[in-house]
Structure 1
């Protein structure tokens, strides 16, 4: 996941993370990040297959901004809390800790989130894929 100059997040996957981030940084990839440079790599995870990386990319793309920020911080309890949204009561085991302020909970109606675009490239070999 990249954070762009305008503080929006870009989610994609690749088989060569360093090369892809450098290409986004240089403006070599047309599209969303080209007009929002500089970009900063804020989160990545390695997967065994391209299919797993793509599935994770699609899942994270649908998350609210605050849930993505909890993922970036590694705050797994907050990630779980954000999964419940504002229309669902938190289970007792999640509500026992300090609650997430209402303004930071995931919006059930999609809220006003920053745009996130997916990047998909053709596999070149059988090496592991990375979601960034």
Structure 2
């Protein structure tokens, strides 16, 4: 688990979506919740974890994070729904 590289999508309290990268999801969500995570998420909690993808390397995860950030909100919601359905 310590070598996992994780890309995640959080739903913020204001209904916006935040995409991030970490190698320790529990710690990273705690940082977001306490206002010490990304600047974007400060004051936007509480958060709901909507989507998680794991990768073997940081490079793969960073590429995926960038790709997700390029998606429109509609496309991100579709990605979340597909992952919930196991597509």
Name 1:66's counterpart in structure 2. Answer: 74
Q: Post-superposition shift, 1:22?
A: 1.4
Q: Post-superposition shift, 1:30?
A: 5.0
- For the aligned residue pairs, the C-alpha RMSD in angstroms reads 1.2
Partners of 1:29 and 1:66 in 2: how far apart? 25
Q: Post-superposition shift, 1:29?
A: 2.1
Match for residue 32 of structure 2 among 20, 24, 37? 24
Partners of 2:69 and 2:78 in 1: how far apart? 14
Paired positions, count: 75
Partners of 2:66 and 2:38 in 1: how far apart? 20
Partners of 1:15 and 1:31 in 2: how far apart? 19
Larger relative strand fraction: 2
Name 2:11's counterpart in structure 1. Answer: 3
TM-score, length-normalised on structure 2? 0.80
Where in structure 2 are there 5+ consecutive unaligned residues?
Answer: 1-8
Within 5 Å, give how 1:43-122 maps onto structure 2: 43-74=51-82
Partners of 1:30 and 1:36 in 2: how far apart? 11
Match for residue 13 of structure 1 among 3, 16, 21? 21
Partners of 1:14 and 1:30 in 2: how far apart? 12
Q: Taking CA–CA contacts closer than 8 Å with sequence separation of 6 or more, which of the two structures ends up with the larger relative contact order?
A: 1
